[in-house]
A and B are shown apart, each in its own frame.
Chain A
Amino acid sequence: MRLGDFILEEAIIRELRPASKREALAEMVQHFVDAGCLEPGAVESVVDALMEREEIGSTAIGHGVAIPHAKHKAVQRLIGAYAHSSEGLEFDALDGRPVKSVFLILWPDGVIGPHLEAIAQISTLIKRQTWLRRLLTCSERRDIVDLFAEVDRELEDAVG
């Protein structure tokens, strides 16, 4: 699965305002509305679903990265958002580090596991130091989109 298949360009936030975990997730979900992929009335309920998952255990995976995710009936297909926080968000990470990169994933209720391949693709990006460093220093949304496209191309070539 390619990052470009599910991360919406309109839902890439170059700099997230300093916020609590819930506020950060709400801002990201709002971008799905702005992109026309979610009804405005569903925002609160989607954020609730994401927070419920966080309560089971933080989705921060270390290296300053978190992958909050949830299924929801208001979503028609697998969609993703990305947000960067220079200051870092308190995300209850196991390693205690603040989170500077948030990948948020939503998928339709009743569909099992489409987010897992998405998580694996994100992890592949994070694992390569040079890509993670570039992600953290991108100054424009366009640069982030270009980086995702480069990651997708390179991983596709690697698979053959």
Chain B
Amino acid sequence: MSRHKAQIPVEKDESLHLRPMQVLNERALEFKSDLTLTRDGHTADAKSMLELTLLAGKKGPLTLEGRGPDARDAVNTLSALLDQQLNKR
């Protein structure tokens, strides 16, 4: 069981829109590990679209954390995906 964490830099304090969260949610479901996304003191289960929508409109740095057998792979894959969704549009 491993634990892995990554911070995703967000240019211009970009808000989280629904679509990037849906993309994250779909990919998160492919991993075995527990995955959470934290922003502005609010933590959401990345495998629950409803919980992710609670982060809509929040500002500040994004932290992705995984706990489980494939945590490292999951966090690396999902943080790259989020970075692409938020910063390279």
Q: In the assembly, what is the distance between CA of A120 and CA of B18, in Å?
A: 10
| Contact of A113 with B by CB under 8 A | yes
Are A116 and B17 closer than 8 Å at their CB atoms?
A: yes
In the complex, how many residues of chain B place their beta carbon closer than 8 angstroms to a beta carbon of chain A?
19
Chain B positions near chain A (C-beta within 8 angstroms): 15-19, 22-23, 25-26, 48-51, 53-58
Q: In the assembly, what is the distance between CA of A79 and CA of B7, in Å?
A: 34
For A61, list chain B residues within 8 Å (CB): 18, 49-50, 53
Q: In the assembly, what is the distance between CA of A63 and CA of B54, in Å?
A: 14
Are A116 and B15 closer than 8 Å at their CB atoms?
A: yes
For B19, list chain A residues within 8 Å (CB): 56-57
Our pick among B17, B49, B53, B56 for the contact of A94 (Cβ within 8 Å) is B49
Q: In the assembly, what is the distance between CA of A67 and CA of B19, in Å?
A: 12
Q: In the assembly, what is the distance between CA of A124 and CA of B22, in Å?
A: 17
Closest to A69 in B: B18
For A59, list chain B residues within 8 Å (CB): 18
Our pick among A94, A116, A119 for the contact of B22 (Cβ within 8 Å) is A94
Contacts A113-B15, A116-B15, A116-B17; A123 near B22 (Cβ below 8 A): no
